Amino acid sequence: MAYPTTGATIVPIYQTSTFTQTRVGEHKGYDYARTANPTRSALEAQLASLENGDFGVAFSSGVAATSAVINLLSAGDHVVVGDDLYGGTYRLFSKVYARYGLEFTYVDMSDLAAVRAAIKPNTQLVWLETPTHPLLKRVDIKAICALRGPGQIVAVDNTFASPYFQQPLALGADVVVHSTTKYIGGHSDAVGGIAITSDPAIRESLKFHQNAVGGVPGPHDAWLTMRGAKTLAIRMREHEHNARLVADFLESNDEVEKVYYPGLLSHPQHDLAARQMSGFGGMVSFVLTGPQERALDFAHRMKYFSLAESLGGIESLICHPARMTHGSIPKEERERRGITDGLLRLSVGIEDADDLVADLRTAIEATALVRR
């Protein structure tokens, strides 16, 4: 559809910090780019539509979007949080917002009784990831929402699934958050975040904090994210196709102790994943046999899997969560949650699947020789 002001087929990059007003308070809907920018507005509308939400509020990163949701709360409020979550979210909650008088309780959200027991009279928010990071547990969004009391908000970090494979708002969630850096952008060239809702009051609060705190994406990053989102469906199908083949290979290999991928029939929540999602995604985690140090040796031997932070780009990445994405969580707490030094996480890209499997096989054989 052509852009209305000029007929441009692609939304322009409005690389401007301010907008000329005809009179004081009279303008064309934009006055200062921190408050709103036409490129960002187009991104917000695009991503809200992907989640079948009414409102999108874009931020400079996924963590900034998470912060805006937490800013819906006040000192003294309580949050129930899934205990398997991105290390940066844990750091934000435990090291920043806990100092402001917010209380966080971490529970295994696959255990509904544990979630129910964790809810207090001052609980205002339930925060969950599904699939979780990095152990790829599934959380029953609809069942969690059924536990929600008056005034309580359920927020879902949908980054791992993407809007293509999962629709949390349709399952009862109040807010959906994405790190658009990952699958939505899809090309590892722009950092960003989004919070999406259909609740006007929540939208107004998010919009207020977007402007007041100022963690907004620049117009070029917004444009790059919009461009990436246009190919989301095609990319997600290829990510999943390759991830299934990779997971099957790993599960069949005697040198692999455990594989975490909900597309496998052996995954304990395979049925929930099949019911709640339209696909199983592109993330795979696994543990090799032998000493945990083997994982570090394995990670640097890869040819097609780059050793790097982040995920969701078209290129394949390998990550050591305990030393990288979850390094901010104390070791004892990491290990209690199952994030051991032997755990490796793959973001399976869209390269040739045979090449990816061959890369894994070569590294397994090389480290097996060293181990023996």
Per the annotation, the verdict on 86 as an active-site residue is yes
Catalytic residue among 34, 148, 237, 371: 34
Which pLDDT score is estimated for 2? 63
Q: Which residue has the higher pLDDT, 372 or 9?
A: 9
Report how far residue 154's alpha carbon sits from residue 144's, in angstroms, rounded to the nearest whole number: 8
* pLDDT at residue 177 greater than cutoff 80: yes
Q: What percent of the chain has pLDDT over 90?
A: 92
Q: In the predicted model, what is the mean pLDDT of residues 172-190?
A: 98
Catalytic residue among 14, 86, 90, 106: 86
Which residue segments constitute the domains of the chain, with CATH numbers given? 38-229 (3.40.640.10), 232-371 (3.90.1150.10)
Confidence of residue 1 (pLDDT cuts 50, 70, 90): low
Catalytic residue among 83, 140, 157, 221: 157
The total of other beta-carbon atoms located within 10 Å of residue 65's CB is: 28
Catalytic residue among 137, 182, 203, 345: 182
Which pLDDT score is estimated for 290? 94
Which pLDDT score is estimated for 370? 62
For 24, list phi and psi in degrees, rounded to 5: -60, 120
- The residues near 365 (Cβ < 8 Å, ≥ 6 apart) are none
Which pLDDT score is estimated for 29? 87
Per the annotation, the verdict on 372 as an active-site residue is no
**DSSP H helix total and E strand total for the chain:** 13, 12
pLDDT tens profile 72-83: 999 999 999 999
pTM here is: 0.95
pLDDT tens profile 246-283: 999 999 999 999 999 999 999 999 999 999 999 999 99
pLDDT tens profile 140-175: 999 999 999 999 999 999 999 999 999 999 999 999
Confidence of residue 328 (pLDDT cuts 50, 70, 90): confident
| Closest to 343 (Cα-Cα) out of 313, 305, 298, 282 | 298
Which pLDDT score is estimated for 7? 86
Per the annotation, the verdict on 359 as an active-site residue is no
Mean pLDDT of the chain: 96
Per the annotation, the verdict on 14 as an active-site residue is no
